[in-house]
């Protein structure tokens, strides 16, 4: 069991870096959102409502105003407040860090430069993307040499279903192959199974990618009562835990899925077997007060 974090001693006011709360906190102790909007256009995304944007406007992303200038200032403050290597910063929750705009002339390169800024302050980076092949093919060398946890969201095996739900994201085969490349390149890899819309496919993703994934983070579907009620979450959890155990895979079950664990499951399996490498650093002494543009749930994760 991980040790509980001591209470932070000071507050560091930041403009871009913030401390996620609620379920998002299960992904990373710190996060930053570089873009306003996202080109992945996931049908289940509710970041637009959190950011009070129309879906149309959210689908026409842009860089956040002066984002790199503010990020550099935040990173400097974070470093000055204590051990900067203590907590990774996740890129991103309310947008995909490798959405097409990242590679567009003019605006692009935000994520690349953000990683450089954080790395220069010895702040580890935790990536979460649905476009990992683009990330590796365009920025692979930098990712290989930076202190990066490379996270991929994938919960489908049928690319027709993926196309319907995540039309601007990469195909399921590209995402799986990117994980294979990342593993071969010795990157620390993790896979986010969330949202789970087709449980049998999510189980298939575990089977398919286990050789290349260091840690699985397994969640469920939220904010869609109709579809949620059609899924037997206890059964999905049981199957996932049995397979993860059979494969010898490290995992973390998110709180909202773990709430469906009955006594049989709790007596058989632990909630987590992972320790994300960057979680092992000593706890810092500064609390981060971000700018409020943060999700209420990790389901706005990329």
Say if strands 62-63 and 35-36 run parallel, antiparallel, or are unpaired. Answer: antiparallel
Report the C-alpha gap between 193 and 185 in whole angstroms: 22
Among 30, 31, 47, 71, binds ligand SF4 (CB under 6 A): 47
Shortest distance, position 77 Cβ to ligand SF4, whole Å: 26
Q: Does 165 bind ligand SF4 (CB under 6 A)?
A: no
Q: Does 222 bind ligand SF4 (CB under 6 A)?
A: no
Among 96, 139, 170, 256, binds ligand SF4 (CB under 6 A): 96
Q: Does 45 bind ligand SF4 (CB under 6 A)?
A: yes
Among 28, 94, 189, 222, binds ligand SF4 (CB under 6 A): 94
Strand intervals (E) in the chain: 10-13, 30-32, 35-36, 62-63, 89-91, 125-129, 148-153, 188-193, 215-218, 250-253, 286-289
DSSP state of 126: E
Q: Where are the alpha helices (DSSP H) in 169-268?
A: 172-184, 199-209, 225-229, 233-247, 255-258, 263-268
Among 15, 87, 130, 138, binds ligand SF4 (CB under 6 A): 130
Q: Does 38 bind ligand SF4 (CB under 6 A)?
A: yes
Please work out the total of residues on this chain that contact ligand SF4, with binding judged by CB under 6 A. 13
Among 42, 71, 86, 115, binds ligand SF4 (CB under 6 A): 42
Tokens of 60: 């026409």
Shortest distance, position 138 Cβ to ligand SF4, whole Å: 17
Among 95, 117, 135, 218, binds ligand SF4 (CB under 6 A): 95
R_g over Cα of the chain: 18
Place of tokens 């009955």: 262
Report the C-alpha gap between 255 and 236 in whole angstroms: 14
CA 286 to chain centre: 23
Report the C-alpha gap between 61 and 33 in whole angstroms: 12
Shortest distance, position 98 Cβ to ligand SF4, whole Å: 10
Shortest distance, position 38 Cβ to ligand SF4, whole Å: 3
- Which is nearer to ligand SF4, 189 or 297 (by Cβ)? 297
Stretch that binds ligand SF4, among 93-101, 112-120, 135-143, 173-181 (CB under 6 A): 93-101
Q: Does 78 bind ligand SF4 (CB under 6 A)?
A: no
Q: Does 41 bind ligand SF4 (CB under 6 A)?
A: yes
Report the C-alpha gap between 229 and 200 in whole angstroms: 16
CA 296 to chain centre: 14
Q: Does 127 bind ligand SF4 (CB under 6 A)?
A: no
Stretch that binds ligand SF4, among 40-48, 63-71, 237-245, 278-286 (CB under 6 A): 40-48
The contact set with ligand SF4 (CB under 6 A) reads: 38, 40-42, 45, 47, 94-96, 130, 300-302
């Amino acid at each position: 069991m991980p040790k509980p974090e001591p209470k932070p001693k000071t507050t560091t006011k930041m403009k871009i870096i913030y401390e996620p709360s609620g379920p998002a906190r299960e992904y990373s102790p710190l996060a930053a959102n570089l873009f306003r909007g996202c080109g992945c256009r996931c049908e289940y995304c509710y970041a637009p409502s959190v950011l009070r944007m129309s879906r149309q406007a959210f689908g026409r992303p842009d860089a956040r105003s002066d984002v790199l200038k503010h990020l550099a200032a935040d990173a400097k403050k974070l470093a000055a407040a204590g051990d900067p290597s203590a907590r990774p910063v996740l890129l991103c929750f309310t947008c995909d860090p490798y959405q097409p705009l990242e590679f567009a002339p003019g605006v692009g390169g935000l994520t690349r430069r953000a990683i450089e800024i954080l790395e220069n302050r010895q702040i580890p980076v935790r990536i979460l993307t649905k476009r990992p092949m683009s990330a590796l093919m365009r920025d692979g060398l930098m990712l290989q040499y930076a202190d990066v946890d490379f996270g991929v969201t994938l919960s489908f095996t049928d690319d027709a279903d993926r196309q319907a739900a995540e039309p601007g994201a990469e195909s399921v085969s590209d995402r799986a192959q990117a994980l294979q490349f990342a593993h071969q390149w010795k990157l620390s890899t993790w896979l986010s199974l969330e949202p789970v819309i087709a449980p049998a496919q999510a189980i298939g993703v575990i089977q398919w990618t286990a050789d290349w994934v260091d840690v699985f983070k397994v969640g469920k579907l939220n904010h869609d009562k109709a579809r949620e009620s059609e899924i037997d979450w206890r059964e999905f959890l049981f199957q996932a835990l049995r397979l993860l155990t059979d494969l010898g895979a490290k995992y973390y079950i998110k709180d909202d899925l773990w709430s469906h664990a009955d006594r049989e499951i709790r007596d058989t399996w632990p909630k987590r077997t992972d320790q994300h490498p960057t979680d092992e650093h000593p706890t810092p002494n500064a609390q981060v007060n971000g700018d409020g543009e943060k999700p209420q749930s990790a389901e706005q994760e990329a």
